[in-house]
């Protein structure tokens, strides 16, 4: 997978294939990064941009770099923050995805992004950084043509946020965009087949993945059922995923899976620490989950994290299939 780098600096001075410009809809230049890129590129950039006849929010268009060290400029228009009421998350994710798609189509192997929409457009910096990370990482999984993506931060606040996300101790990145939902679904298919087929058989596993972990199902859980999904990363690669749902004084841990080749790397402990932190943020007093009675290794692992079996739970999941589980609970120290 391509290497992601976090730097603080002037994006107009980077000697790479392409830089991304946080442009406005007219593509005729403005303040901040947009103005700096136009100044550094020279008047040919403006003339070239006028031929593009503008750009819709969330879309991207490409020009030459002219006097810039970069060969190309990818212009994308980020959303103005309006308290999340006008699909800002989806539009911002689209900025990154469409820019990366243009890079692939134009054989661009190295590119740099600014902190799109976090200036005068007012997007909350932590949320914008999360969307940037999850969209870039998810895209790179299936597009090996790109060698390096630089997140070029203009200010110390963004730099700190990006570095904290990238730090090895931060293993979970919130799933917002359609591309990240698709990545989560692919992880689910891989993990459930390698983990559950020996327990309940391939027919039931296939049914469960299609019914409960498809792109449509995960999207519905996120958008309509108050679930939060997180992709777990290890060394910049997706290694598993978490799904949680706050339910009053308890946090329901719906999913917590790590792919087979990444087990034994300490991600289980780090993932559970993350889950516990989220539970306390929600004000929950305990974490609950259900686990298959035949899943002996998982039951042992959860017991190490302080979970105890409360009662058996038998669930009819449709098509003649039954889940025979234990309900487990871990009570949190709320002092």
The CA–CA distances, whole Å, from 193 to 146, 182, 197, 200, 204 equal 30, 17, 5, 10, 10
Per the annotation, the verdict on 333 as an active-site residue is no
Q: What is the pLDDT of residue 134?
A: 81
Segments of the chain with pLDDT less than 70: 1-2, 141, 168-171, 235-236, 334-335
Distance CA 133, CA 177 (A): 11
Distance CA 176, CA 105 (A): 25
Q: Where are the domains of the chain?
A: 3-167, 173-331
Q: What is the DSSP string of 230-274?
A: EEEEETTEEEEEEEEEEETTEEEEEEEEE-GGGTTSSHHHHHHHH
Among candidate residues 34, 59, 155, 324, the one labeled active-site is 34
Structural contact between residues 58 and 47, judged by C-beta atoms closer than 8 angstroms: no
pLDDT in tens, 12-58: 999 999 999 999 999 999 889 999 999 999 999 999 999 999 999 99
Q: What is the pLDDT of residue 23?
A: 96
Q: What is the pLDDT of residue 171?
A: 61
Residues 6+ apart with CB under 8 A from 86: 79
* Fold designation for 173-331: Aminopeptidase (3.40.630)
Q: What CATH number does domain 3-167 carry, 3.40.220.10, 3.30.1330.40, 3.40.50.20, 3.40.50.720?
A: 3.40.220.10
The CA–CA distances, whole Å, from 102 to 43, 74, 76 equal 23, 8, 11
């Amino acid at each position: 997978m391509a290497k992601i780098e976090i730097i603080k600096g002037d994006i107009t001075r980077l000697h790479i294939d392409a830089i991304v410009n946080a442009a406005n809809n007219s593509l005729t230049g403005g303040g901040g990064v947009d103005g700096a890129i136009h100044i550094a590129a020279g008047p040919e950039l403006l003339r070239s941009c006028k031929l593009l006849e503008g750009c819709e929010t969330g879309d991207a268009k490409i020009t030459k770099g002219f006097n810039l060290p970069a060969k190309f400029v990818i212009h994308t228009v980020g959303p103005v923050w309006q308290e999340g009421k006008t699909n800002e998350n989806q539009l911002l994710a689209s900025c990154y995805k469409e820019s990366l798609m243009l890079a692939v189509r134009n054989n661009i192997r190295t590119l740099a992004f600014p902190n799109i929409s976090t200036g005068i457009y007012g997007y909350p910096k932590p949320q914008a950084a999360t969307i940037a990370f999850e969209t870039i990482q998810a895209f790179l999984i299936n597009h090996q043509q790109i060698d390096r993506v630089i997140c070029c931060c203009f200010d110390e606040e963004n730099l700190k946020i990006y570095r904290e996300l990238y730090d090895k101790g931060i293993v979970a990145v919130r799933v917002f965009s359609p591309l990240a939902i698709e990545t989560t679904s692919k992880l689910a298919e891989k993990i459930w087949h390698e983990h559950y087929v020996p327990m309940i058989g391939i027919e039931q596993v296939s049914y469960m993945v299609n019914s409960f972990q498809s792109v449509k199902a995960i999207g519905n859980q996120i958008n309509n059922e108050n679930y939060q999904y997180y992709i777990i990363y290890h060394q910049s690669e997706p290694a598993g995923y978490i799904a949680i749902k706050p339910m009053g004084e308890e946090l329901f841990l719906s999913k917590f899976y790590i792919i087979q080749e990444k087990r034994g790397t300490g991600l289980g402990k780090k993932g559970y620490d993350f889950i516990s932190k989220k539970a306390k943020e929600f004000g929950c007093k305990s974490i609950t989950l259900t686990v298959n009675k035949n899943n002996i290794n998982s039951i042992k692992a959860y017991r190490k994290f302080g979970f105890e079996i409360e009662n058996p739970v038998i669930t009819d999941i449709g098509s003649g299939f039954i889940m025979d589980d234990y309900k487990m609970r871990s009570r949190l120290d709320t002092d």
